[in-house]
Amino acid sequence: MRRSRPVPVLAVVVGVVALFTGLAPLGGGPPPAAAQRQARLDLVAQTTWVGDSPPVVDLRVIGAPADAHLEIRLYAPPRRRAAFVAGLDGSPPGRIDGMWRLDDLGAAAIGAGDVVSVVVPDVEIGELLRSRPGAHPLVIDLVAGDDVLDRLVTHLLVVRSDPEDVPLDVAVLTQLSAPLAIDADGTRHPDPDAVAALADRALVLAAHPDVPVTVDVRAETLASLAATGDTATLEGVAAALDGAVVTRAAWVDLDEPAWLLADGRDVVDEQYARAATTLDTTLGRSAGPVSLLDGDAGPATLSALGDLGVTSVLVDADRLGGLDAAIVDDTVTHPVELADADGGRLGALPLDTGLAEAVAGGDPELAAHRVLAELTTIALTRPDRARGLVVDARSADVVTLDLLLAGLRTATVLRPVTAVDLTRLPPARVDGPDGEGPTLVADLRPGPVPDLRLALFDRRLTTARLDAFASLIEPTGGLDTVVEPLAERIAAADDRSLPDRSRAAYLAAVRAAIDDAVTGVRIVDTGRVTLTAHRASVPLTIANERTQPLAVLLALDSEKLRFPEGAERVVLLEPGVNELAVLVDAPGTGDARLRVTLRSPRGDLVVADAVIDIRSTALSGIGLAITVVALGVLASWWIRSVLRGRRQRPAASVGAPDGAISEEDPT
């Protein structure tokens, strides 16, 4: 609580006087646009919850002329949310409880700067203020002459502790993520500005460990932080998530409905499994049973999320129909249900659109106080019932988030919880907030879904090729260092931020990397092989020019040769030259062609192939038999010829004429 200080040149007109005299607000009318560009009021700090000390509002007065002064009006708190919203333009519908002006801005300045402190007069207005619980609109006009140069509307929050009142449960949803960091070539380039913003947000969350929050964490961001060695940011994220619930989500920003429509359920399952693994390995955390529902999601997405362990989804209230029975004062404060495509139901927590827009307002300090004021108004509408809602602060400035969490920590009518806690509230009923009928099943309005059928075909082609490549590496233990980086690039290509051409480039780069990894394997040409035996070994020389051992499936094929040890076997190719031998049967002599193919053990990834010419000079069994028979016939003929010659020689001597005896060769 800020220390009170005297207010110089203060003219106080209490609300009671204003009511009975009909005094008009000073400097009435909206500030002209030209005047707003020349001078401006910014909220620096203010008392969040009004206590015993006078509330203080610190303003930065920018570009004000020397004769400028402040005119301040305090209004009675609105009782309905609609009235609260109507008064944000500076004209609240309630009565004025007090008016005063601050003429000497220099005297009210803090030090020599341009920050001016506005202290609410305690005696005249403070007592009246504290007597009325609620969010009191405080309208501050910067006036020069008859012109309102700028106007700032904030709220002073007054609450009373009543043991019978039930606090409004508030689940703050924020995010810790950065844009996709993996490039098509596998290098990582995290956006430094986005990482710095993530680190700042993590610091804010860690500074409020007693305020539970729900955080949407991008697992790809965590993986990139780990891969680039940014341990400081990772440690900050781990500290920020202490006591928080992490939403169940994909590894990248995935368009689940589009992939499901393209029959890509395997892509969705793979993405969620990868995210779970990354959360565990980087932070030692697991996701909760709640998930952010995509803007174009329908019943099929609900079914898929249910199968992935999601029990409740967070969904923009604007996308839900049939909520009339659940709306009280323009607000849905109870869970509803949504029907999936399989006849089941998932719980749903509507994200309040108005609060999401307010928390993302331009002035960080003012945005935080406005959200706290609006929540207080909602809480005081039905303080007798257990209710709750989600504040979508994913787009909030870190200053806004810090002030919002600080305000929730010290609130008595608001209770910070997680989205999982909200799912335990009594559900909305078809017969109204006080009814006891069946649970309200809202209508989910799905949006247009892009066509990812070609992308799915390309992805599956690449995934199959990677699976085949993995079977080459798997036996040697290179999955984590060689295959996993390629699998990450395939998963990164699923990010919805990538146009079709970029997604295709990611996948083409993965296939090119696989091709490059196997181009160093070749079967060395050693010329024609001659077989001199019916069964013989054919030598093979295979060169592996990679530094990684590869397990390949050696496949043999030939029209004339047989393979007694089988036509296929897995062999391990060490880096360098590998000498192998394959046993073949050659049924006969002649030439044959042996086709040798090296492919992946799984799939059909061809690593290398070659054709070896084989010449066989070995005789087959039939040929040998024929040869033996032929030799036997020849031998029999020769023997008969010799014997016949010997029998004929004596007969010739007896019958020969005298002088016709042949003589032996004297030699």
Sign of the four-CA dihedral 508, 514, 519, 522: negative
Helical segments of 22-118, H only: 33-38, 81-86, 105-108
Q: 158, 188, 214: which is the final residue of a domain?
A: 158
> Is 496 among the domain residues?
yes
pLDDT at 33 over 90: no
What local confidence, expressed as pLDDT, does residue 477 receive?
80
Query: How distant, in Å, are the alpha carbons of 98, 119, 457 from that of 94?
Result: 12, 22, 62
Task: Give the number of other CB atoms < 10 A from CB of residue 217.
Answer: 25
- 213 and 353 part of one domain: yes
Say whether pLDDT at 178 is over 50: yes
Q: Please compute the mean of the pLDDT values over residues 239-266 and round it to a whole number.
A: 97
pLDDT in tens, 307-330: 999 999 999 999 999 999 999 889
Looking at the fold, whether 421 and 307 belong to one and the same domain comes out as yes
Q: Which two tokens stand for residue 626?
A: 């024929």
664 in a structural domain: no
Residue 93 pLDDT grade (very low, low, confident, very high; cuts 50, 70, 90): confident
| The pLDDT of residue 459 | 98
Q: Examine the domain organization and report whether 174 and 276 are in the same domain.
A: yes
> Would you state the pLDDT for residue 228?
96
Same domain? 332 vs 210: yes
Q: What is the pLDDT of residue 4?
A: 37
- Which residue, among 4, 99, 110, 124, has the nearest Cα to 59 in the 3D structure? 110
- Quick one: 334 and 323 in the same domain? yes
What is the percent of the chain with per-residue pLDDT over 70, rounded to a whole number?
Answer: 88
Same domain, 247 and 366: yes
More confident call, 533 vs 164: 533
Cα-based distances in Å from 264 to 307, 452, 472, 502, 615:
15, 9, 26, 19, 53
pLDDT at 172: 98
Select from 472, 501, 518 the last residue of a domain.
Answer: 518
Q: What residues have CB less than 8 Å from 92, skipping those under 6 apart?
A: 75, 78, 83, 86, 137, 139
Handedness of CA 156, 160, 161, 165 (dihedral sign): negative
Specify the residue for token string 């003219």.
11
| pLDDT tens column, 132-157 | 899 999 999 999 999 999 999 999 99
Q: Say what the pLDDT of residue 36 is.
A: 46
Give the rounded percent of residues in the chain with a pLDDT score beyond 90. 72
Same domain, 500 and 554: no
Same-domain status, 483 and 606: no
Residues 6 or more apart whose Cβ sits within 8 Å of residue 285: 238, 241, 246, 279
Give the pair of three-digit tokens for residue 151.
Answer: 């106007």
In a domain, residue 237? The reply is yes
Among 274, 265, 261, 210, which Cα is nearest to 417's?
Answer: 210
CA distances in angstroms from 160 to 156, 157, 395, listed in the order given: 13, 10, 32
Q: Could you tell me the CA-to-CA distances from 34 to 31, 39, 40, 148, 607 in Å, in that order?
A: 8, 9, 11, 11, 73
* Average pLDDT taken over every residue of the chain: 88
pLDDT digits (tens, 9 = 90+) for 395-436: 999 999 999 999 999 999 999 999 999 999 999 999 988 888
Q: What is the pLDDT of residue 27?
A: 40
- 535 and 499 fall within a common domain: no
Lowest mean pLDDT among 106-120, 308-322, 481-495, 625-639: 625-639
| Residue 44 belongs to some domain of the structure | yes
Rounded (10°) angle between helices 192-206 and 231-240: 40
C-alpha 505/C-alpha 517 separation (Å) is 18
Please indicate, yes or no, if residue 446 is contained in any of the structural domains: no
Indicate if 66 and 126 belong to the same structural domain: yes
> Is 153 in contact with 139 (CB distance < 8 Å)?
yes
The number of beta carbons lying within 10 Å of the beta carbon of residue 659 is 5
With bands split at pLDDT 50, 70 and 90, how would you rate the model's confidence at 653?
Answer: very low
Last residue of a domain, one of 158, 191, 223: 158
Q: pLDDT at residue 659 above 50?
A: no
Query: What is the model's pLDDT at position 126?
Result: 78
pLDDT for 96: 92
- Full-model pTM: 0.84
Q: Give tens-digit pLDDT for 577-634.
A: 999 999 999 988 899 999 999 999 998 899 999 999 999 887 555 555 565 566 666 7
Handedness of CA 640, 644, 646, 647 (dihedral sign): positive
Residue 53 included in any domain: yes
658 Cβ contact partners less than 8 Å away, ≥ 6 residues apart:
none
Using alpha carbons only, give the angle 89, 92, 93 rounded to the nearest 5 degrees. Answer: 135
Cβ proximity of 148 and 142 under 8 Å: yes
Q: What is the DSSP string of 367-380?
A: HHHHHHHHHHHHHH
CATH code of the domain covering residue 546: 2.60.40.10
Does 352 fall in a domain?
Answer: yes
Token pair of 359, please? 């928390």
Asked whether residue 509 is assigned to any structural domain, the reply reads yes
Q: Which residues pair with 172 in a beta bridge?
A: 391
132 and 173 together in one domain: no
CB atoms within 10 A of CB 381: 18
Q: Can you tell me the distance from the alpha carbon of 15 to that of 27, in angstroms, rounded to the nearest whole number?
A: 17
Other C-beta atoms lying within 10 Å of the C-beta of residue 186: 15
Do residues 366 and 252 share a domain?
A: yes
pLDDT higher than 80, residue 13: no
- In sequence order, which ranges of 311-416 are alpha helices (DSSP H)? 353-359, 364-381, 398-409
Range of the domain at 464: 453-518
Give the C-alpha separation, 206 to 297, whole Å. Answer: 33
The distance of Cα 4 from the centroid of its chain, to the nearest Å, equals: 49
DSSP for residue 663 = P
Q: How many domains does the chain have?
A: 4
- Do the beta carbons of residue 26 and residue 90 sit within 8 Å? no
Q: And the tokens for 399?
A: 């200053």
Distance CA 186, CA 227 (A): 11
Q: What is the mean pLDDT of residues 465-471?
A: 95
- The domain that holds 279 is classified in CATH as 3.20.110.20
